[in-house]
Structure 1
Amino acid sequence: MAQKKRTERIEILDGMRVLAIFMVMLFHYYSAFGASYYQYAFKPPQLFNEGYLGVQLFFVISGFVITLTLTKCSSFVEFMKKRFLRLIPAMLICSLLTFSLLRLVDSNNLFPVSKSFANLLISNTFIPPALPNTFFGVKLAYIDGAYWSLACELQFYLLAGLFYFFSPKSFLRNYAVFAILSAVLYAIINAAMGYDFFSPLIGTKVFLEIRTLSTDFLVFHHHLWFLMGIVINKLYFQKYNQPLLLLLLAIVVLQIVFLKTLYPILFTLLVLLLFLLFLYKPQLLAFLANKVLVKVGIASYSIYLIHQYVGVVVINRLSPYFGSWNFVIPMLLMLGLSFFGVMSYKYLEYPLGKQLHKLVFKQMAKVPVGVEV
């Protein structure tokens, strides 16, 4: 069987990104905030309440893509430089827009954290604000609460890069062991049984400090999603490798044990089904490779960064003019921000990333617009 080229863009994944970002937007625009932010004449469907799980779909895609990116880098330093060069332009543009727009239009002061210059700065470092808050007693926050997942992504990049360049051939085995053990340990530390077991051994104060610190490293909580993506990447190039299939199923079972509740469990099974179709019946997902969806998928990072607080403020300010029809505002926002994301990527982020790439790598090579997103 011929090997697939590792340089080809996998457009179905871009379509999946659109599914993920729309899930998250539906959640934030219809369910995540209370009546003081927005109120509709009808009760949103329960599925909208579960839209936050779109972030987990992003994590699975990230596990797949980062595994591919690692194979195209010659060192850990090169890998991390490329990741930062991908993240920085959109973060700079979208965080500045959020900061500026909310200072101008958030007259109801729904999101005061977005008006802080200190929060703008800490957000652009990709450092979880909880870390300096814990160690230095400051009160920093993300300029948009959705940014929490970026710190989680960056922690994954660091760990995946270290494990890969320590031993490329043993990457999957080593990272799978680490990810599963860390996910189990995180679950124990943050469960009642962990408190009951460890508190008498190390003292309640020390244990609670460890528990608080663990929440600053959310990659451990979400590790199994990233690991699913890594295994799916390996299966993409070795479709009938039975040990890999068994490992994927084992990860899904363990994930279900941790999740416990119905909708997240159903979501996990749907994600498994989606990627099995991606691996073995990709023709059934060909609609996800639609040109418009691909463009929106490539821009989904920008859309994610700008959508939450800006979008909620827009809904809040415009709702009095729409009355009982204010439920259409989120739909218009989803379309408008998708357009913004595509334009921002094409005319701002990509050119800025290209210039930064030349500066950092001191060469004129074109920044790849491939799967490295």
Structure 2
Amino acid sequence: MINQTSRNYTLDILRAFAAFIVVVFHLNEPIPHIDNWYRNIVKLGWLGVPIFFVISGYCIMMSAFKTSNSKEFILKRFFRIFPPYWASLIIVLLAAVLQKIITGYNSVNFIPTNLQEILANISLLTKPFSKIETINWVYWSLTYEWFFYMVIGIVLLLPYRFWMLALSMFTLISIFIPISDSGFFFFFNHWPTFSLGLAVYAFHFLKGKERLSYFFALAVLSIYGLVTNFALKGQLEYAYVSIFTFVLIVVSPYISISQNIFTRLGDYSYAVYLLHVPIGIYLFGKLKTPFIQENIGWNILYDLLNYSLCCIISYFFFRYIELPSMKMGKRFSKSNLKTQITIS
């Protein structure tokens, strides 16, 4: 069995890579497409999303099996996601104000104008859960993540022996029951991607007959769901990237990687994901002149410098917002556990 307490640096590198390709994808999306090899490659950067979802399924199960109860799990995930998310909302609004002052207009995706829109953006109940737009293009995936966590939290209410069975049933439902792209059950659209991470967890950490049974069941169902679902959408590359990520994580404990600059970038991947649009596009997007856009070398240099700036700012964001938020989540969950023990 794999040691669940040891750090898997392959995951950090995958996170860093996924964040990088999403950043360069978005940096080139708002400008007219030019048919050259670089722009054609970065056009595929949206495929960083399935990498994140598969990793999330794997890591969230590790977190779930380490928690004492559903409430503790949800508290930890809440503090991991929401305080940094709220801080990034402020940064987006500041970027909009600065852009308005400097240029006379702002290119922010959407500015809430009423209480319902404000509350939806604060609570991540925007698209695809509702019809309300997000203030930042990338936030849609966070809504998926939060609903994935809520499903895990519900499963943790069951006796331990039923956890993997219940999750397998969710995977089965996501494949055979047609689900709308919006509404309460929207998250089933990407559940097979998340479920591939659950399959890897079963392979690495479960014991006895359950290990291979749940691994093969979850893997087969997830891959079937991915291929059939994204073939209909004409996005089979999404399924291929998900499966490749799944294979890499399966073999990752047997890959010898020590901590390095790329693994450290994995720590900042959430911050990079949250901040690259307001920093790289809303604030500095206009610096990407037609000359830079049309010249491959200058385009690559611009993207690398912009990405580097996002990483530097993300380091401080991680240190002063994410880390304190995670520590607060641990304190709240421990306080909740002590209260339960005292009452009982």
Query: Is the structural similarity TM-score above 0.5?
Result: yes
Amino acid at match of 1:320: T
Whether 1:335 aligns to 2:335 is no
1:300 Cα deviation (Å)? 1.0
Q: Counterparts of 1:267 and 1:181 in 2: how far apart (Å)?
A: 20
Q: Counterparts of 1:291 and 1:174 in 2: how far apart (Å)?
A: 38
Whether 1:304 aligns to 2:273 is yes
1:163 Cα deviation (Å)? 1.5
CA displacement 1:299-349 (0-9 Å, x = unmatched): 211111111243223453212396443443222111221222222111332
Whether 1:278 aligns to 2:254 is no
1:292 maps to 261
Contact kept, 8 Å, 2:171 with 2:222, in 1: the verdict is no
Is the alpha carbon distance of 1:223 and 1:56 closer, same or farther for their aligned partners in structure 2, counting shifts above 3 Å? same
Is the alpha carbon distance of 1:102 and 1:239 closer, same or farther for their aligned partners in structure 2, counting shifts above 3 Å? farther
2:133 maps to 141
CA RMSD between the two structures: 3.2
Is the alpha carbon distance of 1:184 and 1:44 closer, same or farther for their aligned partners in structure 2, counting shifts above 3 Å? farther
Amino acid at match of 2:3: K
Is the alpha carbon distance of 1:12 and 1:326 closer, same or farther for their aligned partners in structure 2, counting shifts above 3 Å? closer
Structure 2 portions without partners, runs of 5+:
339-344
1:182 maps to 174
Amino acid at match of 1:255: L
1:145 Cα deviation (Å)? 1.9
Whether 1:269 aligns to 2:240 is yes
Is the alpha carbon distance of 1:109 and 1:274 closer, same or farther for their aligned partners in structure 2, counting shifts above 3 Å? closer
Q: Counterparts of 1:18 and 1:120 in 2: how far apart (Å)?
A: 31
Contact kept, 8 Å, 1:183 with 1:222, in 2: the verdict is no
Q: What is the aligned length?
A: 326
Contact kept, 8 Å, 2:171 with 2:195, in 1: the verdict is yes
Q: How does 1:213-232 map onto structure 2 within 5 Å?
A: 213-214=182-183, 217-232=185-200
CA displacement 1:191-221 (0-9 Å, x = unmatched): xxxxxxxxxxxxxxxxxxxx5753x543111
Contact kept, 8 Å, 2:136 with 2:277, in 1: the verdict is yes
Contact kept, 8 Å, 2:265 with 2:311, in 1: the verdict is yes
Contact kept, 8 Å, 1:50 with 1:264, in 2: the verdict is no
Contact kept, 8 Å, 1:155 with 1:217, in 2: the verdict is no
Whether 1:73 aligns to 2:73 is no
Q: Secondary structure at the match of 2:126?
A: coil
Moved more, 144-153 or 166-175: 166-175
2:202 maps to 234
1:198 maps to none
Q: Secondary structure at the match of 2:81?
A: helix
Q: Which of 173, 179, 183 is 2:165 aligned to?
A: 173
CA displacement 1:218-268 (0-9 Å, x = unmatched): 311101011111111111125995434432134213311211179843453
Q: Counterparts of 1:132 and 1:260 in 2: how far apart (Å)?
A: 25
Q: Counterparts of 2:107 and 2:49 in 1: how far apart (Å)?
A: 23
Give the TM-score, by structure 2 length. Answer: 0.81
1:124 maps to 122
Q: Which of 246, 249, 254 is 2:216 aligned to?
A: 246
1:10 maps to 8
1:85 Cα deviation (Å)? 1.1
State percent identity of aligned pairs. 22
Contact kept, 8 Å, 2:18 with 2:49, in 1: the verdict is yes
1:290 Cα deviation (Å)? 3.7
Q: Counterparts of 1:19 and 1:112 in 2: how far apart (Å)?
A: 25
Whether 1:57 aligns to 2:48 is no
Q: Secondary structure at the match of 2:87?
A: helix
Whether 1:318 aligns to 2:291 is no
Whether 1:351 aligns to 2:321 is no
1:68 Cα deviation (Å)? 0.9
CA displacement 1:251-286 (0-9 Å, x = unmatched): 2133112111798434533443443343336454x4
Moved more, 298-307 or 104-113: 104-113
1:149 Cα deviation (Å)? 0.9
Contact kept, 8 Å, 2:230 with 2:238, in 1: the verdict is no
Q: Counterparts of 1:52 and 1:359 in 2: how far apart (Å)?
A: 35
Amino acid at match of 2:98: L
Contact kept, 8 Å, 1:120 with 1:143, in 2: the verdict is no
1:360 Cα deviation (Å)? 6.5
Q: Which of 152, 155, 162 is 2:144 aligned to?
A: 152
1:371 maps to none
1:66 Cα deviation (Å)? 0.9
CA displacement 1:153-181 (0-9 Å, x = unmatched): 11111111211331321222221122221
CA displacement 1:102-132 (0-9 Å, x = unmatched): 2112534222624869656532322226666
Structure 1 portions without partners, runs of 5+:
134-139, 190-210, 366-373
Give the TM-score, by structure 1 length. Answer: 0.76
Amino acid at match of 2:315: V
Q: Counterparts of 1:99 and 1:334 in 2: how far apart (Å)?
A: 20
Q: Counterparts of 2:194 and 2:58 in 1: how far apart (Å)?
A: 8
